[in-house]
Amino acid sequence: MAEALAQLASHEFPQAEAAQPRIAVLVPCFNEEAAIASVIADFRKALPSADIFVYDNNSADRTVAVARAAGAAVRSEQRQGKGHVVRRMFADVNADIYVLVDGDATYDAASAPRMIETLTSERLDMVVGLRVDQSVAAWRPWHRTGNRMLTGFLATVFGQVFKDILSGYRVFSRRFVKSFPVLSDGFEIETELTVHALELALPVGEIETPYYARPEGSVSKLNTWRDGFRILGTILRLYRSEKPLRFFTAIGVFLAVVSIGLAIPIIVTFLEQGVVPRLPTAVLSMGLMILAMLSVSSGLVLDTVTRGRREMKLLAYLVQPPVGKN
């Protein structure tokens, strides 16, 4: 009996291999007939074990048929806008690692394994593909300047972390995806993804990836001025909702300064002559000071509410298991 136990103890059992993480490639599409087949083929080559999901957003061309023929799982979202599509993808698809990429063949599929390796080895929640253009045609006029301006503004408001906040090429952990409440409708979604990471102080990274011009027949859906102003509006809206004390205090200080500026001549005249001239101006000054106090008070109340919302997001984040090497 003792000899049998000794033999059993000395026997080497093969260790079970760690389960490979499930990888999902998410491709939002709108009229990408000319590019979607190459996107699917490139990512299948770069990530053979990944599931590729193409979400069509009311395309009027053959995007759906081409994507199906290329072997991707094709689904649809009827509400128009990239934000709606991303919301649907994040809700529907279950995976351990998510790769979000546009369907226009401008992003480098070969960089995906390196981005995923960075995510898992460094235990990050988001890795952004920092676009390095490979040709002059890769960037439309004013897009580079607009991207830099918006990136700089976001860095000023929320802190400097990223160099390319509008990149559509990102890798996420399940923790990030399932704790992210998508609120945007259109191309502002990239800004919202960035702010979500900054507000919760999530571990993130950025890797340089080649950025190519669109293939012939593929047309950009981004309107430089319209979408630029929408993204700027999104940053201001997120600043108001995520940092209400700063936002409303700034408004309160401005109103208080104007109120004091209007009141000083009235006070000086009253001290010198004992009368209150320009009564409407005095009433306006008083009203502005009351508004200033109400603005600061609103900021204090909303800051408490925002803290509670942030705690709920963190709890939703912590419910999900981390991805990475132990």
pLDDT score of 322: 83
* Residue that terminates a domain, selected from 192, 221, 241: 241
Q: For the chain, what percentages of helix, strand and coil (3-state, to nearest 5) are there?
A: 55, 15, 35
Instruction: Report, as ranges of residue numbers, the positions in the chain whose pLDDT lies below 50.
Output: 1-2, 4-17, 326
pLDDT score of 242: 78
C-alpha span between 145 and 109 (Å, rounded): 25
pLDDT score of 114: 96
**Inside any domain, residue 12:** no
- Structural domain harbouring 236: 23-241
Angle at 188 between CA 43 and CA 147, to 5 degrees: 80
Whether the Cβ atoms of residue 25 and residue 99 lie closer than 8 Å to each other: yes
Q: Within this chain, do residues 221 and 250 fall inside the same structural domain, yes or no?
A: no
The tally of domains found in the chain comes to: 2
DSSP E strands, the chain: 23-29, 51-56, 73-76, 97-100, 126-133, 170-173, 204-211
pLDDT score of 320: 85
Whether the Cβ atoms of residue 164 and residue 211 lie closer than 8 Å to each other: no
Q: Within this chain, do residues 56 and 97 fall inside the same structural domain, yes or no?
A: yes
The encoded tokens of residue 179 equal: 């704790």
The encoded tokens of residue 234 equal: 């999104």
Q: Within this chain, do residues 215 and 261 fall inside the same structural domain, yes or no?
A: no
For the entire predicted model, the pTM comes to: 0.78
Residue whose pair of structure tokens reads 């009027």 in the numeric block: 60
Q: Within this chain, do residues 51 and 125 fall inside the same structural domain, yes or no?
A: yes
Q: Within this chain, do residues 307 and 178 fall inside the same structural domain, yes or no?
A: no
Residue whose pair of structure tokens reads 């009311």 in the numeric block: 58
pLDDT score of 44: 95
* Residue that terminates a domain, selected from 216, 241, 266: 241
Q: Within this chain, do residues 69 and 121 fall inside the same structural domain, yes or no?
A: yes
Q: Within this chain, do residues 211 and 85 fall inside the same structural domain, yes or no?
A: yes
